[in-house]
Structure 1
Amino acid sequence: MTSIIFMGTPEFSVPVLEGLINHGYEIKAVVTQPDKKVGRKQKITKSPAKIAAEKHDLPVFQPIKLSGSEEMKQLIDMHADLIVTAAYGQFLPTKFLNSVKIAAVNVHGSLLPKYRGGAPIQYSLINGDQETGITIMEMVKKMDAGDIYAQEALKIEPEDNAGTLFEKLSYLGRDLLLKTLPSIIDGSIKKTPQDPEQVVFSPNITKEQEKITVKMTAREANNMIRALNPDPGAYMMIEGKRFKVWQAEVAQETTELNPGCLIANKGRFAIAFANKSVLNLLVVQPSDKKRMEIKSFLNGQGSKFKPGEEIVDQ
């Protein structure tokens, strides 16, 4: 039986782990990020990968930093055949990568060499891409730079957001990994080096990027909203307060009103953006409120705003 050290943290990693278990691979350990405080009450929360591992009574390792840790020494001493990672969230030292008998394999949520880094799915939405996909790749010390074992593309639908793409890609990644692993194990697979001229990076989303500004077009704003749903959410500033937008749509019409002005608040809540573009807000969350459909907002706070009024802070 081929033995694997599995490394993953978010929901994206769970179908991959479950797929390996269901196909008879021996999971020697699951390595995931430490439990963290979540929400207003700062409740200590386990990662989805840890929850899945505990369901199957698998050993769990949670080093704050893998490099140089006691946990890494224990993992190296397991002499596993493979390391498989799926959105683990830390760099893996070369010593650890070289400790396995066959290969260290990564399930990455983009069509490499496009979108190396920690937020490939979000950047595919931010940039308005028509497709994304999964890459099964060999791990090396340099971030997402290893040779490619296999790839499969996935169309991005207009209604997709980061949450729906993460889910779709997690299952695509599971299936492609399970299809590819046998030829990695028997050595028959042909690897393809990445073209360095085509490399695009996707660094983690910053706090500054969460803000929607009226310098954006409606399409750019909508792409950001989709990219940051369900976490952490994109917002605009209205009356000096954060106003989160969870779902929107680009209107077909154009406007002569200045960016940031309210166009309509009867039956819809439409705001002017750059290049005369218009964005209809569909699901929102005013400061200190729960998220709500726009109809509920218009029946309450939204009724006070007047069409033509500049409501979005610059």
Structure 2
Amino acid sequence: MTKLIFMGTPDFSATVLAGLLEQTDYEILAVVTQPDRAVGRKKEIKMTPVKTLALTHGISVYQPEKLSGSQELDDLMALGADGIVTAAFGQFLPEKFLKSVDFAINVHASLLPKYRGGAPIHYAIMNDEKETGVTIMEMVKQMDAGAMISSAKLPITDDDNVGSLFDKLAVIGRDLLLETLPAYIAGDLIPIAQEEDKATFSPNITPQEEKIDWQNSARSIFNQIRGMYPWPVAHTFLNGKRFKIYEAKETIGEGKPGTVIVKTKKELIIATSDGAISLKTVQLAGKPKMSITDFLNGVGRTIEVGDVFGK
């Protein structure tokens, strides 16, 4: 039986961990995940999905704020694991930790060498990619730069957003890992080095990137909105108040960018530099998230054609 340390944090990671736990060939000695955080308006402390799953299986959980130089690192290295499997963990692993096991591999949600970094799914959508996927790679000191062991592709449709792709890729990543691990451990798979000149990066989304620029095209703004849904959520401003746009669609229309060009009881359309955006699910600062119909029949009923978003 192969002894593993699993490292991950969100639902994507939990799906991969659940797959490993169903197998009889692996023993999960410990799980490492990010510390519990305060979430939501009420700032309630919430366990990560990986921690929740691990505890239901009686697995020891480690949550160092920073793994490097921690007591937790020493404890993990003393467990005698054969290998490390990571999936959306969110921290760099110290080189001595990587060298303490026979192998260390990562389940990464992109087709490497494209989109190394912490937000590969977000950027794939925002950049209007037509496909994405999962790559199983060896871990090295440099971020997501290890040799590739296996990969699987998935088309991106206009109906996809970050949430839907995370769910799809989690299942693909789980299945690919379970298919890959036995042959890799047996030495039957030869990893392939990444082509460095083709590497692109997907750092964590910045607050500035969340802000909509109505001077962009409708296609670009549509991709930005779905590339940030359900998190961190794209926003604009309305009469000086932050206005989040969770869901929208491209449509036909002309006007000064940011200007309301159509308003009915069920529809609000805003012009861009090329085409227009029809809002579907929104949230004005201080108000709950709601459908555009509920918004227009409530707090948004004073909006008129000619009003400008972004100010």
Shared fold per TM-score greater than 0.5: yes
Per-residue deviation, residues 223-255 of structure 1 (Å, max 9, x unmatched): 11111111121111010001111110000x231
Contact 2:87 2:107 (8 Å CA) reproduced: yes
Q: How does 1:223-234 map to 2 (within 5 A)?
A: 223-234=223-234
Stretches of 4+ aligned residues off by more than 6 angstroms: none
- Counterparts in 2 of 1:57-206, with a 5 A limit? 57-101=58-102, 103-206=103-206
Listed one character per residue, the Cα deviations across residues 132-180 of structure 1 (whole Å, up to 9, x for unaligned) are 0000000000000000000100011111110010111011000000000
Alpha-carbon contact 1:117-1:203 (below 8 Å) kept: yes
Distance between the aligned counterparts of 1:8 and 1:142, measured in 2?
Answer: 18
Q: Which residue of 2 aligns with 1:287?
A: 285
Higher deviation after alignment, 213-222 or 195-204: 213-222
Instruction: Give the alignment's TM-score, normalised by structure 1.
Output: 0.96
AA at the equivalent of 2:198? Q
Q: Is the 8 A contact 2:258 2:271 kept in 1?
A: yes
Match of 2:297 in 1: 299
Query: Matches of 2:237 and 2:36 in 1, distance apart?
Result: 32
Counterpart of 2:55 in 1: which secondary structure?
helix
Secondary structure of 2:125 counterpart: helix
Contact kept? 2:253, 2:261, Cα under 8 Å: no
Q: How far is the alpha carbon of 1:190 from its aligned partner? A: 1.2
Q: Report the equivalent of 1:219.
A: 219
Distance 2:32 2:299 in 1: 46
Counterpart-to-counterpart distance in 1, 2:215 and 2:260? 15
**Secondary structure in structure 2 of the residue aligned to 1:159:** coil
User: In the alignment, is the contact (CA less than 8 A) between 1:265 and 1:302 conserved in 2?
Assistant: no
Partners of 1:200 and 1:249 lie apart in 2 by: 28
Task: For 1:99, give the aligned amino acid.
Answer: S
Deviation at 1:294, TM superposition (A): 1.2
- Per-residue deviation, 1:37: 1.1
Identical-residue share of aligned pairs (%): 49
Aligned residue number for residue 34 of structure 1: 35
**Structure 1 residues not aligned, in runs of 5+:** none
Q: SS of 2:248's equivalent?
A: strand
Instruction: Give the CA RMSD over aligned residues.
Output: 1.0
| 1:249-271 deviation per Cα after TM superposition (whole angstroms, max 9, x unaligned) | 000x231x211111111131000
3-state DSSP of counterpart to 1:115: coil
CA distance in 2, matches of 1:38, 1:298: 29
* Cα-to-partner distance string for 1:73-124 (whole Å, 9 max, x where unaligned): 11111121110000000000110001112x1010000000000000000000
CA distance in 1, matches of 2:195, 2:310: 43
In 2, Cα distance between equivalents of 1:220 and 1:146: 32
Alpha-carbon contact 2:104-2:139 (below 8 Å) kept: yes
Q: Which residue of 2 aligns with 1:274?
A: 273
Tell me, in whole angstroms, the C-alpha distance in 2 between the residues paired with 1:218 and 1:244. 17
Instruction: Report the Cα offset of residue 301 of structure 1.
Output: 2.6
**Matched AA of 2:27:** E
Counterpart contact for 1:265–1:303, Cα < 8 Å: no
The answer for unaligned runs of 5 or more in structure 2 is none
| CA distance in structure 2 between the partners assigned to 1:291 and 1:108 by the alignment | 32
Distance in structure 2 (CA, Å) of the matches to 1:219 and 1:12: 28
